[in-house]
Amino acid sequence: MATALIIVDVQNGVLDYSGSRERQPLIVKAQTEMVLRLKKVLSRARGTGVPVIFVQHNEGPGEPLETNSPGWPIREEVAPLSGESVVQKSSPDAFHDTDLHDRLQAARIGHLVIGGNSTQFCIDTTCRRAVGLGYDVTLLADCHMTGDWGDLRFDQIIAHHNATLNGFAAGVRRIAVTASADVLAD
């Protein structure tokens, strides 16, 4: 079963304004650390010929990820190379109204390694939908990120989703939550 790396919404402005004034610097620091870990996974994928697909969220006027705004581009550290696929989306589900499933089917991909933003929205929804569509999923435990939400800190949200999604199944397909150092490694 062929594998693809899916990098979801790792865009410049994705976590802007995602915490209190006091907590925002912590969120920015954690996001940068996550992106650097994801960059290592991306390097291993490229080095072993694993296909990489980037998913980029498009929002409307005035939003942090407004198309063609400064917040919209994929972060430089993990930017697509020439010839790598970029799927444009406008909902938390990377499969909804996109050609992601068609691209994966055409490439005979059956296993997805997923990382990116935002944990409780795009990552959760995309992982669950992928399993429902017949893919096995490896969620990179330390390569997805979010901001604070209500009374929950970002680290609590990430821990909750790692625990909740690990072992989630639809038929024989399931999600395994795995540390990034253990994925696509020799």
| pLDDT above 90: residue 17 | no
What mean pLDDT comes out for the span 100-108?
A: 98
pLDDT at 131 > cutoff 80: yes
pLDDT interval class at 126 (50, 70, 90): very high
pTM of the model: 0.97
Q: What is the mean pLDDT of residues 87-115?
A: 98
Going along the chain from its start, the domains and CATH numbers come out as: 2-182 (3.40.50.850)
Query: Would the pLDDT of 186 be above 80?
Result: no
Per the prediction, the chain carries an average pLDDT of 96
The pLDDT tens digits for 159-173 are 999 999 999 999 999
Q: Supply angle C-alpha 16, 26, 73, rounded to 5.
A: 30
